[in-house]
Structure 1
Amino acid sequence: MRSNNASATPTHPIKPFTCSSGNLTVATTCNPPSSAMPPPIQNRNPTCPDYFRWIHEDLKPWKSTGISRQAVELANRTATFRLVILDGRAYVEAFHRSFQTRDLFTMWGVVQLLRRYPGRVPDLDLMFDCGDRPVIKLSDHMSSPPPPLFQVEVNIKPWKVLVKKIKVGNERLGWIDRIPYAYWKGNPTVAPTRGDLLRCNLSRTKDWNARLYTVDWTREIQQGFKQSNLANQCDHRFYDFFTRGLMPGHHYWPIRDDNKCRDIKFAVDWGNTHKKEAQAIGKAGSRFIQEELKMDYVYDYMFHFLREYAKLLKYKPTKPPKAKEICVESMACAAKGRERDYMMASMVNASYDLGPCDLPPPYDIWSSSRF
């Protein structure tokens, strides 16, 4: 059985850093490495949530072959940056800037992980792509594994703060009083399936029980994201949150990609005539976000993914000639405005003895066939 409690308790506060000028306006270099050994990881940790099993699935293409330096460097044609971790310190070679600050806060998240579990993240060499769309085609790699290029998108308020605001937003308006339609808000140009979704919007001739809204990110940036705050999207009964930890019929109602409009209408009609059952699904989804996606688990997922990835490397990583070290000092001291505020709000201020949670084994053939 897995405990619902967070996987770790901070026991070693980290000394606050200072910038070279004494304030957070001037960039500075990273402090020299500490000679202190990391505390031993204590046993009897709770088992990680079940969705951690997907780490094994995501790395399966390289399980039998391993990952060579050549394979990693093959991914730099489309990568945003290259991350190398050596002796618990992070180095980045940037290839190009990403949209908004996705690359910046991806790097920031890695730095916080190293502060949370100092000396425990193994040496590794990893390519990141911070775009919206997949850039590697499966058809190009039918006879050999694809280059190991990983995508991540981090472009919201600090999650620990935001998840509490989402809970407050959920409680602001009762389920029965919410607008009884399916609800979606986003950029429809990211993928064809999103553009196709707009066919299900309200028109003069058809009502599929869906209310779909296009986001103009340029205007949102200018207005400080006032209309896209996740905590304020709780006036509708139905919303989608995509993660492989969610189970259809328990956390959400599934919609077929080739029958979107009719499935959406059926789901809303069913929910409006089975309000108690629909509310139970909504509560289960919200509970999943509150309990299964705590920052403790986010960092533990990062830790286990990087550790399992590092096991596949067939070479000893080295610092690229053009790479620069990143740390809280070098990043936070150079940041300004909202970027600096988000960094300060999401900074890890203590290292952990207990943790991370214990990684569950891979899915077996029977269980993985359910997906």
Structure 2
Amino acid sequence: MTLTCPKDYYPTRFEQYQDSSTESTCPEYFKWIHEDLKPWKRTGITREMVERGQNVSHFRLVIIQGKAYAEKYAYSYQTRDVFTIWGILQLLRLYPGNIPDLELLFETGDRTVVEKQNFQESPPPPIFHYCGQKNAYDIVFPDWSFWGWAELAIRPWEALLQSIEEGNKKIKWKDRLPYAFWKGNTMVSYKRYDLTKCNASDQHHSYAHIYPLSWDKEIERGFKNTKLEHQCVHRYKIYVEGVAWSVSEKYILACDSMTLFIEPIFYDFFTRSLVPRKHYWPISNTNQSMCNDIKYAVDWGNANPDKAEAIGKAGTSFIEENLKMKFVYDYMFHLLNEYARLLRFEPTIPAGAVEICSENFACPLNGIWREYMVESMVKSPSDTPPCTMASPYGENEGEEK
């Protein structure tokens, strides 16, 4: 590995072996790609539309003839931008020569930025982001943590999921603690602060165990109390949003515990296909009802353990079967291809952009940042093609799903 991008080192084209035995159908949530790009279906995407989003974006990414270039506009929290771009670079390694020329803007914050109310008279700027919500046009893209969250010592998704699966086997569901569990930073949202009021006490009959977390202290302790594979010992786990959506969704759903999903405002790329009372148990997000709903869910689950266990395992099966890293890459593949088809201009390399590749991204780094990049690096092109994406939802089918 070197500090510069190699010339003529990677294949510019790689044909995957394909026959009926290698074909696979994409998970159902891939259909949301069509919904997220629908605002530009009629008009296409012009350069003027893209440029209007620069002031609220953190970086621009350009792909031309299989090579990537980036221009940074603003500081991203921790290394979100670095690991997001790293993931796209691995996509180029997985499917060399199969990602079309394109130019896009990416926003790495928590909240959505393309609010629908601001674009009633003109097409919105296409901005890629980690989450969306019904009142925004942000284009949803897999978040950085699939390649590791180094600052919190959370390993890349593929390895971490395997560790969680092993942890699930240690305690049978009916032998787990019969309470709801949540641990996290309570200072980032009112929902999380309200959740602390549901904590174990005589008044609440100990139905919920809520643990406020200081990440600064956990860093000092070497993350001894925050290993996700050790947090699957309760029958019920709670998901609650932070500033916006939280990357903790996938970790919580992977635990075999029945997930108590406090009604979210935001969504990421895969959760829109989760079904209430099949993959999770819905909980009201209002201060008045939240604790009562959690208590009811725990009481119901303890009275109906087979049904509660089935919901927990269905949520975990959804994650294990539909959120393999191959599908994460395939989602990126299809999203970028569909986006590129909408472009009505020729992508160009900005004057301030630099060529980026795995070598000049990973080599300058040290410690856990470089370790996670090496661990999540795509070692060779895929020998099978991307999954086959289903046709779009019907005109009204996907709008309020």
Q: Under a length normalisation based on structure 1, what TM-score does the superposition of the two structures give?
A: 0.87
- Pick from 277, 283, 293 the counterpart of residue 323 of structure 2: 293
Q: Percent identity?
A: 49
Greater Cα shift, 254-263 or 285-294: 254-263
1:227 CA drift (Å): 2.4
| Paired residue secondary structure (2:334) | helix
Report the equivalent of 1:125.
Answer: 103
1:138 CA drift (Å): 2.6
The answer on whether the counterparts of 1:125 and 1:317 sit within 8 Å (CA) in structure 2 is yes
| CA distance in 2 between partners of 1:227 and 1:29 (Å) | 39
The answer on whether the counterparts of 1:210 and 1:265 sit within 8 Å (CA) in structure 2 is yes
Report the equivalent of 1:180.
Answer: 178
1:228 CA drift (Å): 2.4
1:92 CA drift (Å): 0.8
| CA distance in 2 between partners of 1:305 and 1:339 (Å) | 27
The answer on whether the counterparts of 1:208 and 1:265 sit within 8 Å (CA) in structure 2 is no
Report the equivalent of 2:27.
Answer: 49
1:362 CA drift (Å): 1.4
Superposition pairs of residues 230-241 of structure 1, within 5 angstroms: 230-239=228-237, 240=239, 241=249
Report the equivalent of 2:169.
Answer: 171
Q: Does 1:274 align with 2:304?
A: yes
1:192 CA drift (Å): 3.7
Report the equivalent of 2:200.
Answer: 202
| CA distance in 2 between partners of 1:161 and 1:35 (Å) | 26
Q: Does 1:330 align with 2:308?
A: no
Q: Does 1:256 align with 2:254?
A: no
1:180 CA drift (Å): 1.5
Report the equivalent of 1:5.
Answer: none
Greater Cα shift, 174-183 or 157-166: 174-183
- Pick from 33, 36, 39 the counterpart of residue 14 of structure 2: 39
The answer on whether the counterparts of 1:256 and 1:263 sit within 8 Å (CA) in structure 2 is yes
The amino acid across from 1:227 in the alignment is N
- Pick from 371, 376, 388 the counterpart of residue 341 of structure 1: 371
Q: Under a length normalisation based on structure 2, what TM-score does the superposition of the two structures give?
A: 0.81
Deviations along 1:9-62, one digit per CA (max 9) or x if unpaired, are: xxxxxxxxx32xxxxxxxx11011459551335364211011111111111122
| CA distance in 2 between partners of 1:191 and 1:74 (Å) | 30
| CA distance in 2 between partners of 1:104 and 1:283 (Å) | 34
| CA distance in 1 between partners of 2:332 and 2:210 (Å) | 33
In structure 2, the CA distance between the partners of 1:192 and 1:71, relative to structure 1 (3 Å rule), is farther
Superposition pairs of residues 23-102 of structure 1, within 5 angstroms: 28-33=3-8, 37-41=12-16, 42=18, 44=20, 45-102=23-80
Q: Does 1:362 align with 2:392?
A: yes
The higher relative CO (CA closer than 8 Å, separation ≥ 6) is in 1
| Paired residue secondary structure (2:386) | coil
Report the equivalent of 1:12.
Answer: none
1:233 CA drift (Å): 1.3
Greater Cα shift, 219-228 or 296-305: 219-228
1:252 CA drift (Å): 0.7
1:199 CA drift (Å): 3.4
| CA distance in 2 between partners of 1:233 and 1:35 (Å) | 41
| CA distance in 2 between partners of 1:311 and 1:246 (Å) | 28
| CA distance in 1 between partners of 2:162 and 2:103 (Å) | 35
Deviations along 1:159-178, one digit per CA (max 9) or x if unpaired, are: 11111001011112111121
The amino acid across from 1:48 in the alignment is C
The alignment covers a number of residue pairs equal to 346
- Pick from 93, 96, 120 the counterpart of residue 115 of structure 1: 93
| Paired residue secondary structure (2:14) | coil
| CA distance in 2 between partners of 1:198 and 1:137 (Å) | 31
